[in-house]
Amino acid sequence: MDPLKQKFYKKASELGKEIKALLKEHGTQKIDEVTIKQIYGGARGIKMMVWETSQLDPMDGIRFRGFSIPELKEKLPKGPDGKEPRPEGLFWLMLVGEVPTDEEVKWLTDQWTTRSNVPEHVFKVLDSLPKSAHPMTQFTSAIMAMQTDSVFMRRYAEGMSKTEYWDAAYEDTMNLIARLPRVAAYIFRRTYHNNMHIAPDISQDWAGNFAHMLGIEGTDFKNLMRLYMTIHADHEGGNASAHTTHLVGSTLSDPYLSLAAGMNALAGPLHGLANQEVIKWIFKMLDALGTKEPTKEQIADYVNSTLASGKVIPGYGHAVLRRPDPRFMAQKEFAEEYIPDSKIVQVVWNVFEVVPDILKGLGKVKNPWPNVDAHSGAILVHYGLDQYSFYTVLFGVSRALGVLSALCWSRALGMPLERPKSMTTKAVKEAIKAMS
């Protein structure tokens, strides 16, 4: 058994025993109550699942195994120039709850390199799609095509015991994460670079090699990818991509099927697709105003016209957060350090100074602050990656780290089929009557 798998098995067995005891002693205790507003309001805030890898606080933002993003930037092993954290380290931390050593992260990079060979038929599936297919459609199609390799599916068909589910989920998780950068880069190069593909460079770390295969050279872009892949990985379990992966996995669909489902949720404009919508909106604004350096007054007018036409301001607002997203701030700090004079980045900073007050003025927006998607596009544009339809795929490669490590935990803890209760409006009315 490999060292990470062994560590995971030990931790999962211990927590499994703890949960059994906790349920025996406290299983009937109530932790929350549900309001009618929550039933109609997209289940906001209802506590109904366990997610070990990260937790989101409305004010403090995301904590991965207790560590905030600034703490992770300090504690996780870094890329070769010692600047940005390596996403391999975050995956290790999410899976076993311990900050890995440099050697452990190096082992993980080597593991993913060994497992990174993408079956030939996956490229054929991609090549059969029109280049006009949205990159997220291509991405989920490729994940589905890779499912033919699922260890979980094969072992289940052979009659695997339920005590082995975690092991098969771990194998699929490791293989999938190893292969996603190659698949994503293939989609990028076929769609925007006339099929001029770039062979992997196995001497590089996971995110460095991804940057290389995308075809954007330079150590700064590799550092951007390390940071990007780290901060987008997980946002507790209730967000749409995480929850969808969890729900589908709870039917014992294998990790490939579960991740593909989660990625389809990420592809919605209220979720991950917002990263392309933000830069699209900024480009449209610059076009409409006829300048690359709009004043704050011009930005305010454009924001008001967007709202007046019945649209949301992409990149602003959040279902849980109630302050500027620490993931936005981490990207802002990156831009301040690496590219402070970038004009497109300065537009994002000016939008940040204008939008919150306007949204506050509407009186209904619970969080007027920027979320993770408000900043990423401008930095990518600066480094030459301006094909914004691809942005959600980048998000998806990162999000796989979180949702798949959480899926390993769900199978290890024997989480059951998820099945919340729905109600008809008639039943809601009857419940109200019975209470009065």
> Among residues 123 and 349, whose Cβ is nearest to ligand HAX?
349
Q: Does 352 bind ligand HAX (CB under 6 A)?
A: no
Query: Which of 12, 211, 285, 365 contacts ligand HAX by CB under 6 A?
Result: 365
Minimal CB distance residue for ligand HAX: 317
How many C-beta neighbours within 10 Å does residue 261 have?
21
Q: Does 19 bind ligand HAX (CB under 6 A)?
A: no
Cβ atoms 143, 255 nearer than 8 A: no
Query: What does each C-alpha distance from 298 to 127, 177, 225, 291 come to in angstroms?
Result: 44, 43, 32, 10
User: CA neighbours within 13 Å on the CB side: how many for 73?
Assistant: 17
Q: Does 319 bind ligand HAX (CB under 6 A)?
A: yes
> Among residues 113 and 306, whose Cβ is nearest to ligand HAX?
306
| Spatial distance between the Cα atoms of 369 and 376, rounded to a whole number of angstroms | 15
The least distance separating ligand HAX from the CB of residue 375, rounded to whole angstroms, comes to: 12
> Among residues 191 and 398, whose Cβ is nearest to ligand HAX?
398
How many C-beta neighbours within 10 Å does residue 35 have?
11
Stretch of residues binding ligand HAX (CB under 6 A), selected from 25-33, 83-91, 370-378, 403-411:
370-378
Q: Which two tokens stand for residue 205?
A: 């770390």
C-alpha of 38 from chain center: 25
Phi and psi based region of residue 21 (left: phi greater than 0; alpha: psi -120 to 50; beta: remaining): alpha
Query: What does each C-alpha distance from 310 to 47, 304, 307 come to in angstroms?
Result: 32, 10, 5
3-state secondary structure of 30: coil
Catalytic residue among 271, 325, 375, 382: 271
3-state secondary structure of 348: helix
> Among residues 45 and 215, whose Cβ is nearest to ligand HAX?
45
Q: How many residues bind ligand HAX (CB under 6 A)?
A: 21
Query: Which of 138, 141, 253, 367 contacts ligand HAX by CB under 6 A?
Result: 367
The least distance separating ligand HAX from the CB of residue 218, rounded to whole angstroms, comes to: 27
Stretch of residues binding ligand HAX (CB under 6 A), selected from 69-77, 169-177, 267-275, 344-352:
267-275
Question: Any idea which residue has 């931790």 for tokens?
Answer: 11
In this structure, the chain runs to a length of 436
For the question of residue 301 being annotated catalytic, the response is: no
Q: Does 315 bind ligand HAX (CB under 6 A)?
A: yes
Q: Does 259 bind ligand HAX (CB under 6 A)?
A: no
| Spatial distance between the Cα atoms of 17 and 256, rounded to a whole number of angstroms | 28
For the question of residue 375 being annotated catalytic, the response is: no
Tell me the per-residue interface mask from 199 to 238 with ligand HAX, x by CB under 6 A, - otherwise: ----------------------------------------
Q: Does 391 bind ligand HAX (CB under 6 A)?
A: no
Q: Does 139 bind ligand HAX (CB under 6 A)?
A: no
| Spatial distance between the Cα atoms of 248 and 254, rounded to a whole number of angstroms | 9
The least distance separating ligand HAX from the CB of residue 245, rounded to whole angstroms, comes to: 14
| Spatial distance between the Cα atoms of 314 and 306, rounded to a whole number of angstroms | 10
Binding site for ligand HAX (CB under 6 A): 239, 270-272, 274, 312-319, 359, 364-367, 371-373
Which residues are known catalytic residues? 271, 318, 373
